[in-house]
Structure formats: structure tokens, C-alpha cells
């Protein structure tokens, strides 16, 4: 892991140097592509501002993710346990995914207003779907022989659920959570485009319409870094606690 | 990449998540207001100096003085202020302007326009200073871009007045960025006086300006709107909103530096230099023509009628709009002169 | 405790007229036909038969996981039982070890106790002395994937033994093991059985294994599954490995093989005619 981190860092620095040199050597106009140094200068000079945006957008992401993941787990489990529920409600989940976030976002603003909760709702909406699907599929894939074994021990539905279905589905749920946290971040950023004054999404819009390219790149890098860190955090959790494969 | 194998890791993350949720919940708790009318105003765009008057009125307590507990909701590229007011999600709005107000009525949305902030068309056409285009007739055979938010009809009308038909030039939608214009991928572009023109100036791009108002087309924009229901049920709140908003604008135009402090506090991501220029230009637009003779936010009816006829002519409107229901002048008329006359 | 139980005591398990028919798209498949078995308390009974003779179906019914056709009578400890009532009453070990990969060895072993509602600490206390006996001491904190096939099988057996029930069903527990490990496991199982005084019904398709372990050997026929032969094994216990080559053992084996042979030929002819 250490050597991996080292080489990744080296690759990152190499890429930044390439960017800086490339922009300078080819004389790319700053309104097409700013230099890396200009981007980092902007970042360093606006730490407060960006920090405030990070706190806001990250809060939206995490709260939205937690809510969305919970919804996904509950519905995914319900669908796995009850075929009737699955047939009844699962199509609705699929249809909901066909609604573009743009249309959905406008509705959410009408329902929830403009504070943090409308962004949380959009982040949760994007997170819930993959978690629902993977929870359901993971639990349905449970080995019937193991179900039979636990039943022969006298296990009821509750014990079967917590002692077998949930751990059995965890690797597949974990995969959905990794996807979900990334979608949650996108949801939070897009959610801010429906009106707000703080957050990385709103700063991106401001930078775009004021054609402040160094700021735009600074924000893109920050969003990317947050995305990577969240993903890595979940990957680490997964590697440490959810290492078993379903097919064993 | 991060090493979370340390035992406490996930617990800390969980604790952090819980803390954040609680903080957010506390922050989101509605402020208790005593016997005040709770209303909201939706902006047509992100919080910026374009809306300074409202932020000033809010910060200075003008709305509270009128018995209003008002929330300012910023807009964005995906929101339509007119629909939000029509649906009741917001009480008031700084709407798109003449085209949006008329189009809403045409679509039977119960939207009523109470005032108009920009007295002239806030967008102009620009060409690079070294361009061979010297006069408007030179637009013939050229590539023109325009925002397609209804403003394209202004361009068409302006050129029709000069004897050009749409087949004489190419008119396409304009991207967010001014870069294609600077790179000469297009000959004529549209800019707002308060934003893109300043972006060009900041980049040191010199341009020649063709303003629609100089060619017989004037489309006032940035309307103050509310719903028919609101006027019927809470006229007092509507009056209060008009009084406080215009009073706030008067203060903002007179005390621009202080107004900018207020705007910057509300939307800290903004760049002050850019906002300073924006407020200057918006001030000019608001004080133009009837803005000075009648007062801030005045509805210049002949001008609105002309714009209506132009849109009807362009078949943007399916039929004539009834001005008696689309516009309501009584609230603006009742705003004390001291609050609207500079 | 060797040999059949005292005839005065009621048999631990008595099956009469037990049939099982599956309706498939192509027609009916009779998996079991009029099975009748009596197993006494403390007895070690082995079931041997060709593949597809319905041995596993029989076990699933005894474990309460499947229902027999109507008309079957199951007496468990002298009381009539419906199949689902047997859930949680019989210690059942299927062919595959079916260990849960996310549980450590110790937690896999105590799983049935936890399902019963016994707190983990208490369950651990009960499991502790068994690790040495099952050759797992030092491996309590390992995960199943870290163990060899033989060890995994011992964990599964330990799990079955910890689930203390009057009847223990073992479905080819050593089927997947190599010959050497297998013979070690057989002697070890006999040892455990004698010490814990359990009643065991043991499925295998290895004739040597069936005779070496059992007090009685049941030979089953294939499709429909019927009891072809019930053979008492009067060999003395403890049984040393050399017994496998003794004349008495060979004589018993010949009888079992003859019964199986006859069955195989019959089914071969059926296939040829059909």
C-alpha cells in the first residue's frame, strides 16, 4: 500500500508538471486552459471560500448518502424477501431512474425548498437505486443449501435475515455503496444548481458564468479529490471488513 | 490510498456523519417569526449584484418592517422562476422579464407582473473592434449567436426593423462561454451589459456595441412577479414586498459599496471586482428612461405593448395577451415616492 | 452402547410407509418408495446406495426441510411428527461443509447455538472443550478459507455435534476427502460417537466406510429408492483399521456388494430397454 501510494503520488506530480509545461510550451491561451500553477495559486488564495464549499457539499453528500443507502437497504431487503413487493414496487424504482435529475430536481425544490435538504434529497435519490438493486440481488443470490442448513437449526425468518442474508449480500451491497457515494457527490453538486449560495456546485456555476477558469479548474480538482477520497475510504472499509466473496 | 485499518477509523467516520447530520438538522430548523407573513422570493439566477436591492432590503430589515418574513431563494440554470411562483412554491420572483411574463400568461399561468427593474433591453450585440462590421446592415450574411431564452426574438425584431429577413443571416444559440466569440468562430455575439460585457472587458477584448434600443426594439427585463392568488388573498403582503424591494434598490444604487458588502456576505463565492461592475450597470439600466422620470421598477406600458406586438408578430405568443390581467399597476403606484424616486 | 438399543425402549426414530414423489414437467419421479426404518437410541446406522437413490431426499425429510407424501408416518422418540416439526429437532450435516466465510471457526461452530438464542459467551464456553477433540485447537480464530478440506469438515462436524439433538444426520461428510484423511476421520468419528453417545444416521456410497462405521448397514435401490437390504454388522468395537481386511469384514462386504450389483444390473437393463 505504501509503495502504491508513493507511485501514485509521483504519477500525480508528473501529470501536474506535464500540464504546466504543456500549457506554457504550446502557448495555450489562459481562457482555454490555465496553467497548473495559476490553478493552485487560485486554490491557495481562496482556501476559506473553497473550504466552506467543501464542508457544505460534503455534508449534503454524506447525509444524502446515509439516507439513500438506508432507503436502498430497506427496500432491497423487502424486495428480496417478498416477491410480491418486488413485483409491485421494483418497476417504480426503475421508472424513477428514467426521470432525469434535472426534472426531479425542480420538483424537489418545489417540495423541499432551497435549503440543504433539497440537495440531500437529490443525493439520496441517486444513492438509493444502486443500493436497492444490489441489496436485493445479493440477498436473492443467497445459497439455498445454507438457508436449508440454518432452517434445520431452527432458524426463523429473522435469524435467517440477519445471520445469513445480510452478511451474504454485504459484498454486493458494498460495491453499490462505493458507487452510491460517488453518485451522492454528483447529486449534491447538481442539487446546488437548483439554487443556493454556498457549496462547490454553486461555485462551479459562478466560475463558469464569470469565465474564471483557474477557479473552475481548482473546483474540478477539489471535487475530484473528494470523490477519490470518499471512494478510497469505502474501498478501505470493504477490504478490511467485507473481504469474503459471495460464491464461497 | 487512505489507511483506515486503524481500529477507530470507521467509528470516527460514523460519529462524524452523525455530528454533521445533527448540525445540518439544527441549521435547517425554521426561524420562529412572530406574527409575520412568511414569504419567499425566487431569483431568476444565482445570488449576485444583479439582485442587490433585495439583499439590501433583507439585510436592512425593510421586509421585516413591512411585516414580511422573507426568504431569498437563488435560482439556477435549471429553474424557471415563473413556474415556481405559479405553483405556489415561491411567493414572489424576480422573473425573466417581458417575454417570460407574457409567455406565462399565454400558457395560462396565473402570473401577474408588478414592476420591471431593467427599463431597457439589458442585452446588446457585440462585434470585435477590428471586425469589418461597422453598422447594423453589415450583419447581413454573418454568423450571429444569441441566448435562446427568448432573447433571439429581440435580435430578429431588431434586424427586421432594419429590413433584414431571417434568411439574410445565421442565428444560432450561444454557449455559456465567450471564448468562441473571442476566437472569431462567430461574428456577432450577445452579451448582457452587467455580466458578459464585463467578462470581455476584464479580458481586454475591445468590442463595438449594437444596442436593440437604438434600433427600435426595447424589451425591459427582470420583472417583479407574484401569483393571482397572492394578490387576491394577501394584497397587503404584495404591497409590502413592492415597498421594501424598491426601497432596498434605491439604497443599493446610492450606496453601492455597502450593497456589495451585503451581497458578498450572502454569496461569498463571488468576485468583488466583477460584482462592482455588475451593480454599476444594473443601476444604469434601472435608472434609464421611466426609471428616472417615474421611479424605480416602473412599468413602461407603451414599451411593453411594443414588445408584446413584436412577440406576437414572431408567433412566440399564440394570441394577444390581456394586459389588464397580466400587469397590475396599483401596487407600484402605491409605493411611496420617497422609496422609488431617486 | 454398542449395537442396537434395548428392545424394551421405543426406537428413537421409526419411519413407516414413507414415500416422496416429485412432479416435474416430464412426469412423476418417485424418489422414495415405502421406506420403513427403525433406529434405536445410540445406534450408528449407515445408508449405502447408488447415486440418485434418494438418500439426500430422505435426509431432507428427516431434517424437516421437505415434506413426504401423505400416508407417511414418522415417529420421533415415540411421538408422531409432521416433517416441519422436525426443524431444529435433528442435527443435520449436509455433504458440503457450508461454513459461513465471514465467521471465524469458533463462530461457525457455535452458529446453531446462537440461532437457538444462547448468548455468544455461553455458547463459546460450551464449544471450548471440543476444539482439542476435533483437532481444531489453535485454529479457533481462523477463517474457513484458511483451512484444509479435512479441517473444514471437522468444523462442520463440530457445529453438528454442538447442536445437541437426539438424532444426528451425516450426509457423506467425508466424500470429498482423500483416502488417507478419510480413514483417519472415520476412526476419529467413531471415537467421538462413542464418547458422546449420539444416534447417527450416516449416508455414504463407500461400502467399506458403511460397514466399518455402522452397527447396521441399509442398502438402498435407485429410482424408486427402496430399502433393499438391512444388514447387521456384528463386528466388535473399537474397530482397528486392520479389521478392513479381516474375513468377517470381507464376508459382509460381499453381501452388500452383491445387493448393490444386482441393483446396478437392474437399472442398467432398465436404461438399455428404455
Q: Between C140 and B34, where is the model more confident?
A: C140
Listed by start position, the domains of chain A span 46-241
**CA atoms of A200 and A204, how far apart (whole Å):** 6
Fold of B37-120+220-340: D-Maltodextrin-Binding Protein; domain 2 (3.40.190)
Same domain, C130 and C219: no
Listed by start position, the domains of chain B span 37-120+220-340, 123-215
Q: With contacts defined as CB-CB under 8 Å, which chain A residues touch C115?
A: 150, 153-155, 159, 163
Residue C157 host element (H or E)? helix C149-162
In the prediction, which pLDDT does C174 show?
A: 86
CATH number at residue C198: 3.40.50.300
Q: Between A23 and B16, where is the model more confident?
A: A23
Same domain, C79 and C141: no
Among B223, B245, B230, smallest CA distance to B54 is for B245
Residue A62: which of B20, B43, B268 has the nearest Cβ? B20
Same domain, C55 and C122: no
Same domain, C82 and C176: yes
* Average confidence (pLDDT) over C70-75: 88
CATH number of this structure's domain B123-215: 3.40.190.10
With respect to residue C6, please indicate whether it lies within any of the assigned structural domains: no
Q: Which residues make Cβ contacts (< 8 Å) with residue A96, sequence separation at least 6?
A: A125, A129
In the prediction, which pLDDT does B10 show?
A: 42
Interface contact flag, B176 A209, Cβ < 8 Å: yes
- Please report the ipTM that was assigned to this predicted complex: 0.84
CA distance to A90, A99, A123, B125, per residue, from A95 (Å)? 9, 7, 18, 44
Count of A-B CB contacts under 8 Å: 129
Instruction: Determine contact, residues A107/B18, Cβ cutoff 8 Å.
Output: no
**CA atoms of A197 and A218, how far apart (whole Å):** 18
* Average confidence (pLDDT) over A73-88: 92
**CA atoms of B123 and B50, how far apart (whole Å):** 13
The number of domains in chain C is: 2
Q: Which residues make Cβ contacts (< 8 Å) with residue C247, sequence separation at least 6?
A: none
Residue C21 host element (H or E)? strand C13-24
* Average confidence (pLDDT) over A205-212: 86
The answer for B 16-45 residues in CB contact with A (under 8 A) is 17, 20-21, 23-24, 27-28, 40, 42-43
Same domain, C205 and C266: yes
Å between C63 CA and nearest CA of chain A: 6
In the prediction, which pLDDT does B257 show?
A: 97
Q: Could you tell me the pTM of the whole model? A: 0.81
Å between A200 CA and nearest CA of chain B: 9
Band of the pLDDT at B2, cuts 50, 70, 90? very low
The bridge status of strand B92-97 relative to strand B37-42 is parallel
In the prediction, which pLDDT does C2 show?
A: 43
Among A182, A205, A185, A208, smallest CA distance to A195 is for A205
Same domain, C176 and C266: yes
Topology agreement, domain B37-120+220-340 and domain B123-215: yes
Interface contact flag, A196 B270, Cβ < 8 Å: no
* Three-point CA angle B240, B243, B247, nearest 5°: 140
At residue A244, φ and ψ (nearest 5 deg) are: -80, 155
**CA atoms of B269 and B278, how far apart (whole Å):** 15
- C274 pLDDT above the threshold of 60: no
- C128 pLDDT above the threshold of 70: yes
CA torsion, points C58, C61, C66, C69, in degrees to nearest 10?
A: 80
In the prediction, which pLDDT does C254 show?
A: 94
Same domain, C114 and C136: yes
In the prediction, which pLDDT does C89 show?
A: 87
- What does the block give as the cell for C110? 457455535
- B298 pLDDT above the threshold of 80: yes
In the prediction, which pLDDT does B12 show?
A: 47
- C189 pLDDT above the threshold of 80: yes
In the prediction, which pLDDT does C9 show?
A: 65
CA distance to A23, A64, B90, per residue, from A112 (Å)? 44, 14, 11
- B270 pLDDT above the threshold of 60: yes
Count CB atoms within 10 A of the CB of residue A191: 33
- What does the block give as the cell for B117? 427593474
The answer for A 140-169 residues in CB contact with C (under 8 A) is 143, 145-146, 148-155, 159, 163-164, 167
- A71 pLDDT above the threshold of 60: yes
Which of A67-76, A153-162, A239-248, C128-137 has maximum average pLDDT?
A67-76
pLDDT in tens, B11-37: 444 454 454 444 444 444 444 444 789
Chains A and C touch (3+ CB pairs under 8 A): yes
Return the partners of chain C (3 or more C-beta pairs < 8 Å).
A
Residue A32: which of B179, B268, B274 has the nearest Cβ? B179
In the prediction, which pLDDT does C223 show?
A: 75
Q: How much of chain A, in percent, has pLDDT values that exceed 70?
A: 98
Band of the pLDDT at B6, cuts 50, 70, 90? very low
In the prediction, which pLDDT does C273 show?
A: 59
Residue C207 host element (H or E)? helix C207-213
- What does the block give as the cell for A45? 488564495
pLDDT in tens, C27-49: 788 888 888 999 999 999 999 98
**CA atoms of A125 and A187, how far apart (whole Å):** 8
Q: Which residues make Cβ contacts (< 8 Å) with residue B114, sequence separation at least 6?
A: B223, B224, B225, B226, B238, B242, B327, B328, B331, B332
In the prediction, which pLDDT does A105 show?
A: 83
**CA atoms of A231 and A162, how far apart (whole Å):** 26
Substitution target in A144, A149, A160, A246 with the highest count of C β-carbons within 10 Å is A149
Å between C248 CA and nearest CA of chain A: 38
Same domain, C142 and C37: no
Instruction: Determine contact, residues A125/A62, Cβ cutoff 8 Å.
Output: no
- C22 pLDDT above the threshold of 90: no
* Average confidence (pLDDT) over A2-8: 74
Q: Which residues make Cβ contacts (< 8 Å) with residue A107, sequence separation at least 6?
A: none
* Average confidence (pLDDT) over A66-83: 95
Residue A146: which of C98, C116, C145 has the nearest Cβ? C98
List the domain range (segments joined by +) for residue C153: 96-164
Interface contact flag, A63 B20, Cβ < 8 Å: yes
Q: Provide the mean pLDDT of chain B.
A: 88
Same domain, C157 and C193: no
In the prediction, which pLDDT does C271 show?
A: 64
Same domain, C75 and C171: yes
Q: With contacts defined as CB-CB under 8 Å, which chain A residues touch C64?
A: 151-152
- Quickly list DSSP for C109-122: HTHHHHHHT--HHH
| Residue that terminates a domain, selected from C108, C134, C164 | C164
Band of the pLDDT at A100, cuts 50, 70, 90? confident
**CA atoms of B117 and B298, how far apart (whole Å):** 7
User: Which residue blocks in chain A are alpha helix, DSSP H?
Assistant: 2-25, 36-45, 47-81, 83-98, 101-112, 116-140, 144-152, 157-160, 166-192, 200-209, 213-241
Instruction: Determine contact, residues B119/B298, Cβ cutoff 8 Å.
Output: yes
Asked if A248 has any chain C CB less than 8 Å from its own CB, the reply is yes
- A195 pLDDT above the threshold of 60: yes
Chains A and B touch (3+ CB pairs under 8 A): yes
At residue A231, φ and ψ (nearest 5 deg) are: -60, -45
pLDDT in tens, B165-183: 889 999 999 988 888 899 8
In the prediction, which pLDDT does B281 show?
A: 96
Residue A240: which of B5, B46, B203 has the nearest Cβ? B5
Å between A65 CA and nearest CA of chain C: 26
In the prediction, which pLDDT does A99 show?
A: 83
Q: Which of A224-228, B3-7, B163-167 has the lowest mean pLDDT?
A: B3-7
Nearest chain B residue to A239, by CA:
B5
Among B297, B329, B338, smallest CA distance to B118 is for B297
With 0-12 / 13-18 / 19 or more C-beta atoms within 10 angstroms meaning exposed / middle / buried, residue C240 is exposed
Q: With contacts defined as CB-CB under 8 Å, which chain A residues touch C90?
A: 152
Q: Which residues make Cβ contacts (< 8 Å) with residue C112, sequence separation at least 6?
A: A153, A154, C91, C159, C162, C163
In the prediction, which pLDDT does A246 show?
A: 56
- C3 pLDDT above the threshold of 50: no
* Three-point CA angle C138, C139, C145, nearest 5°: 160
In the prediction, which pLDDT does B29 show?
A: 42
Nearest chain B residue to A9, by CA:
B1
Q: Provide the mean pLDDT of chain A.
A: 90
**CA atoms of B147 and B45, how far apart (whole Å):** 15
Helix axes B9-28, A116-140, angle to 10 degrees: 140
pLDDT in tens, A24-46: 998 888 777 899 999 999 999 99
Among B151, B184, B275, B203, smallest CA distance to A211 is for B203
Asked if A232 has any chain C CB less than 8 Å from its own CB, the reply is no
Which of A147-156, B234-243, C25-34, C127-136 has maximum average pLDDT?
B234-243
Return the partners of chain A (3 or more C-beta pairs < 8 Å).
B, C
Among B204, B203, B200, B170, smallest CA distance to B187 is for B170
Nearest chain B residue to A233, by CA:
B2
Same domain, C203 and C230: yes
pLDDT in tens, B107-125: 999 999 999 999 999 999 9
Interface contact flag, A49 B199, Cβ < 8 Å: no
- A194 pLDDT above the threshold of 70: yes
Residue A154: which of C60, C87, C94 has the nearest Cβ? C87
- Quickly list DSSP for B134-174: -SGGGGTT-EEEE--SSHHHHHHHHHHHTT--GGGSEEEEP
Q: Per the CATH hierarchy, to which homologous superfamily does domain A46-241 belong? A: MetI-like (1.10.3720.10)
Residue C107 host element (H or E)? helix C105-109
| Residue that terminates a domain, selected from C114, C149, C164 | C164
- B249 pLDDT above the threshold of 70: yes
**CA atoms of C81 and C13, how far apart (whole Å):** 10
Strand residue runs (E) in chain B: 37-42, 68-73, 92-97, 111-118, 123-128, 143-146, 170-173, 189-192, 207-210, 221-227
Interface contact flag, A149 C88, Cβ < 8 Å: no
Å between A137 CA and nearest CA of chain B: 26
Substitution target in A143, A146, A152, A154 with the highest count of C β-carbons within 10 Å is A152
- What does the block give as the cell for C18? 414413507
Same domain, C144 and C170: no
Substitution target in B44, B76, B273 with the highest count of A β-carbons within 10 Å is B76
In the prediction, which pLDDT does C272 show?
A: 62
Among B221, B224, B225, B223, smallest CA distance to B121 is for B221
DSSP, res A165: I
Band of the pLDDT at C215, cuts 50, 70, 90? very high
Amino acid at each position: 500500500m505504501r509503495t502504491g501510494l508513493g507511485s501514485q503520488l509521483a504519477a500525480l506530480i508528473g501529470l501536474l508538471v506535464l500540464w504546466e509545461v504543456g500549457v506554457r510550451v504550446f502557448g495555450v491561451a489562459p481562457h482555454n486552459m490555465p496553467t497548473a500553477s495559476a490553478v493552485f495559486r487560485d486554490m491557495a488564495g481562496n482556501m476559506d471560500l473553497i473550504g466552506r464549499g467543501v464542508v457544505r457539499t460534503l455534508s449534503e453528500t454524506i447525509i444524502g448518502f446515509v439516507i439513500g443507502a438506508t432507503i436502498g437497504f430497506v427496500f432491497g431487503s423487502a424486495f428480496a424477501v417478498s416477491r410480491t413487493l418486488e413485483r409491485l414496487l421494483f418497476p417504480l424504482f426503475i421508472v424513477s431512474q428514467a426521470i432525469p435529475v434535472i426534472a426531479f430536481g425542480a420538483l424537489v425544490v418545489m417540495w423541499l425548498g432551497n435549503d440543504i435538504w433539497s440537495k440531500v434529497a437529490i443525493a439520496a435519490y441517486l444513492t438509493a437505486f444502486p443500493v436497492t438493486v444490489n441489496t436485493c440481488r445479493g440477498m436473492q443470490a443467497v445459497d439455498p443449501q445454507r438457508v436449508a442448513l440454518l432452517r434445520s437449526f431452527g432458524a426463523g425468518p429473522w435469524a435467517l435475515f440477519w445471520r445469513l442474508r445480510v452478511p451474504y449480500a454485504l459484498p454486493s451491497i458494498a460495491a453499490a455503496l462505493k458507487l452510491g457515494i460517488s453518485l451522492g457527490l454528483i447529486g449534491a453538486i447538481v442539487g446546488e444548481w437548483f439554487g443556493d449560495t454556498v457549496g462547490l456546485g454553486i461555485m462551479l456555476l459562478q466560475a463558469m458564468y464569470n469565465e474564471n477558469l483557474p477557479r473552475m479548474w481548482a473546483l474540478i480538482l477539489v471535487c475530484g479529490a473528494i470523490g477519490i477520497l470518499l471512494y478510497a475510504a469505502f474501498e478501505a472499509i470493504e477490504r478490511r471488513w467485507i473481504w469474503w466473496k459471495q460464491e464461497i | 490510498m487512505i489507511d483506515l485499518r486503524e481500529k477507530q477509523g470507521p467509528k470516527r467516520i460514523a460519529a462524524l456523519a452523525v455530528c454533521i447530520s445533527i448540525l445540518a438538522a439544527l441549521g435547517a430548523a425554521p426561524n420562529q417569526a412572530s406574527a409575520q407573513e412568511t414569504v419567499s422570493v425566487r431569483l431568476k439566477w444565482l445570488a449576485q449584484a444583479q439582485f442587490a436591492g433585495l439583499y439590501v432590503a433583507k439585510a436592512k430589515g425593510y421586509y421585516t418592517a413591512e411585516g414580511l418574513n422573507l426568504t431569498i431563494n437563488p435560482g439556477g440554470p435549471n429553474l424557471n422562476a415563473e413556474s415556481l411562483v405559479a405553483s405556489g412554491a415561491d411567493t414572489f420572483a424576480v422573473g425573466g422579464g417581458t417575454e417570460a411574463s407574457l409567455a406565462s400568461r399565454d400558457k395560462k399561468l396565473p402570473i401577474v407582473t408588478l414592476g420591471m427593474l431593467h427599463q431597457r433591453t439589458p442585452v446588446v450585440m457585440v462585434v470585435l473592434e477590428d471586425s469589418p462590421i461597422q453598422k447594423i446592415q453589415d450583419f447581413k450574411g454573418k454568423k450571429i449567436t444569441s441566448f435562446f431564452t427568448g432573447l433571439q426574438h429581440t435580435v430578429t425584431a431588431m434586424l427586421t426593423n432594419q429590413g433584414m429577413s431571417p434568411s439574410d443571416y445565421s442565428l444560432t444559440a450561444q454557449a455559456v462561454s465567450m471564448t468562441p466569440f473571442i476566437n472569431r468562430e462567430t461574428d456577432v455575439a450577445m452579451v448582457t451589459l452587467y455580466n458578459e460585457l464585463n467578462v470581455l472587458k476584464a479580458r481586454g477584448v475591445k468590442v463595438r456595441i449594437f444596442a436593440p434600443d437604438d434600433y427600435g426594439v426595447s424589451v425591459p427585463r427582470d420583472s417583479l412577479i407574484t401569483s393571482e392568488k397572492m394578490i387576491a388573498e394577501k394584497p397587503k403582503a404584495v404591497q409590502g414586498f413592492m415597498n421594501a424591494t424598491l426601497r432596498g434598490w434605491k439604497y443599493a444604487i446610492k450606496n453601492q459599496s455597502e450593497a456589495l458588502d451585503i451581497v458578498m456576505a450572502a454569496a461569498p463565492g463571488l468576485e468583488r471586482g466583477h460584482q462592482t461592475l455588475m451593480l454599476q450597470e444594473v443601476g444604469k439600466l434601472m435608472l434609464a428612461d421611466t426609471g428616472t422620470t417615474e421611479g424605480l421598477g416602473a412599468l413602461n406600458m407603451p414599451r411593453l405593448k411594443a414588445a408584446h406586438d413584436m412577440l406576437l408578430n414572431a408567433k412566440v405568443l399564440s394570441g394577444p395577451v390581456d394586459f389588464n390581467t397580466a400587469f397590475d399597476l396599483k401596487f407600484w403606484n402605491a409605493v411611496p415616492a420617497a422609496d422609488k424616486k431617486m | 452402547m454398542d449395537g442396537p438399543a434395548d428392545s424394551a425402549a421405543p426406537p428413537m426414530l421409526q419411519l413407516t410407509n414413507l414415500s416422496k414423489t416429485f412432479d416435474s414437467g416430464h412426469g412423476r419421479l418417485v424418489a422414495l418408495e415405502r421406506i420403513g426404518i427403525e433406529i434405536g437410541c445410540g445406534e450408528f446406522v449407515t445408508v449405502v446406495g447408488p447415486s440418485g437413490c434418494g438418500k439426500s431426499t430422505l435426509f431432507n425429510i428427516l431434517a424437516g426441510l421437505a415434506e413426504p407424501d401423505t400416508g407417511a408416518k414418522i415417529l420421533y422418540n415415540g411421538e408422531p411428527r409432521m416433517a416441519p416439526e422436525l426443524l431444529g429437532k435433528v442435527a443435520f450435516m449436509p455433504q458440503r461443509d457450508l461454513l459461513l466465510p465471514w465467521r471465524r471457526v469458533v463462530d461457525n461452530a457455535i452458529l446453531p447455538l446462537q440461532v437457538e438464542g444462547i448468548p455468544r459467551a455461553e455458547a463459546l464456553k460450551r464449544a471450548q472443550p471440543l476444539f482439542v477433540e476435533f483437532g481444531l485447537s489453535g485454529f479457533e480464530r481462523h477463517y474457513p478459507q484458511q483451512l484444509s478440506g479435512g479441517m473444514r469438515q471437522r468444523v462442520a462436524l463440530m457445529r453438528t455435534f454442538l447442536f445437541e439433538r437426539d438424532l444426528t444426520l451425516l450426509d457423506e461428510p467425508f466424500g470429498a476427502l482423500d483416502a488417507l484423511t478419510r480413514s483417519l476421520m472415520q476412526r476419529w468419528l467413531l471415537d467421538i460417537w462413542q464418547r458422546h453417545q449420539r444416534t447417527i444416521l450416516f449416508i455414504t456410497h463407500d461400502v467399506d466406510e458403511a460397514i466399518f462405521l455402522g452397527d447396521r448397514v441399509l442398502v438402498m435401490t435407485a429410482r424408486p429408492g427402496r430399502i433393499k437390504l438391512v444388514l447387521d454388522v456384528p463386528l466388535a468395537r473399537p474397530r482397528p483399521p486392520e479389521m478392513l481386511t479381516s474375513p468377517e469384514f470381507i464376508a459382509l462386504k460381499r453381501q452388500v456388494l452383491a445387493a448393490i450389483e444386482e441393483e446396478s444390473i437392474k437399472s442398467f437393463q432398465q436404461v438399455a430397454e428404455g
